[in-house]
Amino acid sequence: GRRLLILFLVGTGISQPFPCFGKTKKQNPYDEKRLLEQNKRIQRENSVPDDFPNFIREGFVVKVVTTDRYITRDSGLVLWDIEVGNGECPKAGQQVTFHYIGYNESGRRIDSTYLQGSPAKVRLGTNSLIPGFEEGIRDMKPGGKRRIVVPPELGPPVGPSTFFSSKQYEVFDVELLSIQDCSRRTIGFYSDIVCN
């Protein structure tokens, strides 16, 4: 079986026949270039916006290729401030009103509030956004536009019960419109949160 194959490769003098624990796999630059071209071609067919990130998928390893406008955070979130807004950043408990367009790795639009005709409104700190999206919007300012590249580990849960069948990167172009303070109001037995 497998041991014979390894012995054969070692015997023929091919260097580095197997990856060191799969972490530092030396990839053939030609393969990477081919995969990158393939990804770019699909993205062109999907008419992606300028400077859209590229994804080179090799088995379970995905490499994100971006221009130097993007920064990568310790969390793995990749982002580019297309336009920086003004004022304060939203705090937990406040409501953010924003527009967004969501894309998959091949640049196909999955979702867009622009097409729905009204922006999204979400209170931060209530676990109603995927972690990467919340992290990305938390330090934006109203009027700001940002592209957020969410790695799978900061993305939605994956499985048969969800829209997402496999762990993919997602890209969101977000425009933060405004931030509202929220307070709890109680009328008789009924209590709700009002944001304005």
Q: What pLDDT, in 10s, does the model give residues 141-173?
A: 999 999 999 998 898 776 665 555 567 899 999
pLDDT at 80: 97
Task: Count the domains in the chain.
Answer: 1
B/e letters for 99-133, b = 16+ CB within 10 Å, e = fewer, are: bbbbbbbebebeeebeeeeebbebbbeeeebbebb
Q: Which among 101, 96, 109 has a CA at the least distance from the CA of 146?
A: 101
> What 8-state DSSP symbol labels residue 178?
E
* Tokens encoding 160: 């048969």
* Whole-number Å distance between alpha carbons of 119 and 116: 8
Is residue 19 in some structural domain? no
Is residue 45 in some structural domain? no
Is residue 152 in some structural domain? yes
Count the alpha carbons within 13 Å of 7 in the hemisphere toward its beta carbon.
4
Q: What are phi and psi of 72, to 5 degrees?
A: -115, 125
* Whole-number Å distance between alpha carbons of 94 and 187: 21
Is residue 120 in some structural domain? yes
The amino acid at 161: S
Domain membership of residue 141 as a residue range: 70-195
> Cα–Cα–Cα angle for 175, 113, 165, nearest 5°?
105
CATH code for position 161: 3.10.50.40
Is residue 132 in some structural domain? yes
Contact 180, 97 (CB under 8 A): yes
Enumerate residue ranges in the chain where pLDDT < 70.
1-27, 158-166
Q: Which among 44, 142, 156 has a CA at the least distance from the CA of 111?
A: 156
In this predicted model, what pLDDT tens digit does every residue of 118-149 receive, in sequence order?
999 999 998 889 999 999 999 999 999 999 99
Is residue 157 in some structural domain? yes
Alpha helices for the chain (secondary structure H): 2-11, 29-45, 113-116, 131-138
Task: Give the length of the chain.
Answer: 196
Cβ neighbours for 3, distance < 8 A, ≥ 6 positions apart: none
